[in-house]
Structure 1
Amino acid sequence: MAGTRQHTLTGTRGRVAVREWPAEAPGHVALLVHGYGEHSGRYEEVAGVLTGHGAAVYASDHTGHGRSDGERVVIEDFEDVVTDVHAVAELARAAHPGLPVVMVGHSMGGLVAARYAQRHPGELAALVLSGPVIGDWELPRRLLALDEIPDTPVSPASLSRDPAVGVAYAADPLVWHGPMKRPTLEAFVRTLETVAGGGDVGALPLLWVHGDDDRLVPLPGSRTGVETLSGGNLTERIYPGARHELFNETNRAEVFADLTRFLDAVLAR
């Protein structure tokens, strides 16, 4: 996307790479929080939708991901990632003082975004969770029970019904294509418990979007986490047949329309 800007912040565990997609005379700020093994550069299309909707969009590469420092896909403590995302929010607020801030977290980024909302009440105008790792996600417990983590990368076909998405994912050098790592799995287990016990987000408007054929983060487990997190101001959109990456799915125009409609309702208040 033309006009994308690059920033570098000093994070909790080294340099953090940040992308900014500017908007002309923005009315709000949108913070994108990416998922496990990927990076913010995969969010060009959703960033374009949001800038077209009047948002100045920012997204960082988490530690161990993308262009940021750290051993690949090692996150020893998700609280550090939340702190890094907060630094991105501060960067955005300094550039756009007084504008409402919305956060969109996908998959692992949904876990980070949920924890952010718990740690920083009152800072967000809206929270959007896409296929979030929250609630009862059994994968890390199952892998940790093994003596050795199997070298089984994410299947590109599990991401979207659009074959081009899987092809691009498999060819992306900034995507991690190796096994999950034990410190990250342990951090997932701890943070799932922390979020589950961290209380709800009160009146914060929450949009939850999920595919009912999500094989990476199954719908029923996420539902328990979302319902615990929500303070009652919940909008839910479940898409039949959709897989994990809703912003890259074959029905993404529908998903984007639901997203912008939700933001319109929130920001009009």
Structure 2
Amino acid sequence: MSSIPPEDIDTTGHAGLLIGSRWSPPADPTWVAVIAHGYGEHIGRYQWVADRLTSDGAVVYAHDHAGHGRSEGESVLIEDFEPVIDDLHLLVERAQAENPTLPVVLIGHSMGGMIAARYTQRHADAVAATVLSGPVLGSWEPTALADLDEIPPTPIDPTTLSREEDIGRAYQEDELVWHGDFKRPTLRALATTLENVTAGGRLGVPTIWLHGQDDQLVPIDPSRAGWEHIAPEGAPAKAYPGARHEIFNETNREEVLDDVLAFVHEHI
């Protein structure tokens, strides 16, 4: 499978310029994918995912959230996630304007899964389906750090990302990844958003929940409990034995993307 480099796109978001990417398929697109990345990372880490999606006929849009990657804003500082959802809506609206006849599928990983769930609650009319990958839902243990007088060093252990050793190594060496500590306002905003998602009702579009069973970064049980509050009636869910947090970068990533595409084609 050949790799298609993205075009840079930008939008003015709530905290400044949002730098994003658009990947176009080799032939006329048949659907649109919008990706929401996770905490501390950036959309450049999703090239392989974009390759799979474009080879399936998707035109793929994504941007670095405020304070992440190449976008403006203080690093990993998010005091309220509702403006981040507003930023994402600007991207979805752009994707719709440029592809007015095509269905849009939202794909969110980790913190981006939480963002995607909240987005779907607020803008169910904007997407045809939603995919949640290792989403932060229900509760997340690191948010308790916000109550400490001093937040201890909290670098993400790269071995929790994938059984594929190169993934952790590349993550450690990536200068666009945040390798510092959590910020108190961000932790509090995460906790508030998790409560809002849980209270926000069942998602109004077809949605699938996918998770690694050995995920130590976003443990499966709290996420599954949160999913049960918002899952549409009869919504599919799948856990992958042995898989860690980044299931799109895991040793069984082909299986995971096969499952994503099978779900997408069932609903577009």
Would you say same fold, with TM above 0.5? yes
Question: 1:237 matched to which residue of 2?
Answer: 238
Distance 1:152 1:136 in 2: 18
Question: 1:248 matched to which residue of 2?
Answer: 249
Distance 2:265 2:247 in 1: 20
Distance 1:179 1:140 in 2: 12
CA drift of 1:145 comes to 2.4
Q: Report if the CA contact (8 A) 2:42-2:176 is conserved.
A: yes
Q: Which deviations, in whole Å up to 9, do the C-alpha atoms of 1:40-72 show, x marking residues without a partner?
A: 000000111111111100001000000000111
What amino acid is aligned across from residue 89 of structure 2 in structure 1?
Answer: H
Distance 2:125 2:193 in 1: 21
Q: Report if the CA contact (8 A) 2:209-2:227 is conserved.
A: yes
Question: 1:134 matched to which residue of 2?
Answer: 137
* SS state at 2:237 partner: strand
Q: Report if the CA contact (8 A) 1:28-1:55 is conserved.
A: yes
Question: 2:53 matched to which residue of 1?
Answer: 50
After superposition, residues 104-143 of structure 1 pair within 5 angstroms as 104-141=107-144, 143=145
Is 1:19 aligned to residue 18 of structure 2? no
* SS state at 1:122 partner: helix
Is 1:63 aligned to residue 102 of structure 2? no
Question: 1:198 matched to which residue of 2?
Answer: 200
TM-score (structure 1 length as normaliser):
0.96
Distance 2:63 2:138 in 1: 24
CA drift of 1:230 comes to 1.2
Where does the alignment leave 5 or more consecutive residues of structure 2 unmatched?
Answer: none
CA drift of 1:3 comes to 4.2
Identity across the alignment (%): 52
What amino acid is aligned across from residue 260 of structure 1 in structure 2?
Answer: L
Question: 1:213 matched to which residue of 2?
Answer: 214
Q: Report if the CA contact (8 A) 1:105-1:130 is conserved.
A: yes
CA drift of 1:207 comes to 1.0
Q: Report if the CA contact (8 A) 1:101-1:125 is conserved.
A: yes
Distance 1:210 1:108 in 2: 13
Distance 1:53 1:186 in 2: 39
CA drift of 1:235 comes to 1.0
Question: 1:149 matched to which residue of 2?
Answer: 151
Where does the alignment leave 5 or more consecutive residues of structure 1 unmatched?
Answer: none
TM-score (structure 2 length as normaliser):
0.97
Question: 1:93 matched to which residue of 2?
Answer: 96
Q: Report if the CA contact (8 A) 1:205-1:233 is conserved.
A: no
CA drift of 1:138 comes to 2.3
Distance 1:105 1:260 in 2: 14
Question: 1:175 matched to which residue of 2?
Answer: 177
Q: Which moved more, 1:255-264 or 1:32-41?
A: 255-264
* SS state at 1:234 partner: coil
Q: Report if the CA contact (8 A) 2:36-2:115 is conserved.
A: yes
Q: Report if the CA contact (8 A) 2:208-2:235 is conserved.
A: yes
CA drift of 1:98 comes to 1.9
Distance 2:233 2:127 in 1: 16
* SS state at 2:33 partner: strand
What amino acid is aligned across from residue 174 of structure 1 in structure 2?
Answer: L
CA drift of 1:2 comes to 3.3
What amino acid is aligned across from residue 36 of structure 2 in structure 1?
Answer: V
Q: Which deviations, in whole Å up to 9, do the C-alpha atoms of 1:224-268 show, x marking residues without a partner?
A: 11111112141111000100000000111111111111111112x
Distance 1:140 1:159 in 2: 19
Question: 2:164 matched to which residue of 1?
Answer: 162
Q: Report if the CA contact (8 A) 2:139-2:191 is conserved.
A: no
Pairwise CA RMSD of aligned residues?
A: 0.9
What amino acid is aligned across from residue 94 of structure 1 in structure 2?
Answer: A
CA drift of 1:136 comes to 2.1
Q: Report if the CA contact (8 A) 2:92-2:126 is conserved.
A: no
Question: 1:7 matched to which residue of 2?
Answer: 9
Q: Which deviations, in whole Å up to 9, do the C-alpha atoms of 1:116-148 show, x marking residues without a partner?
A: 00111222111100000011222202x112111
CA drift of 1:99 comes to 0.8
* SS state at 2:167 partner: helix
Distance 2:77 2:146 in 1: 15
Distance 2:93 2:151 in 1: 37
CA drift of 1:150 comes to 1.2
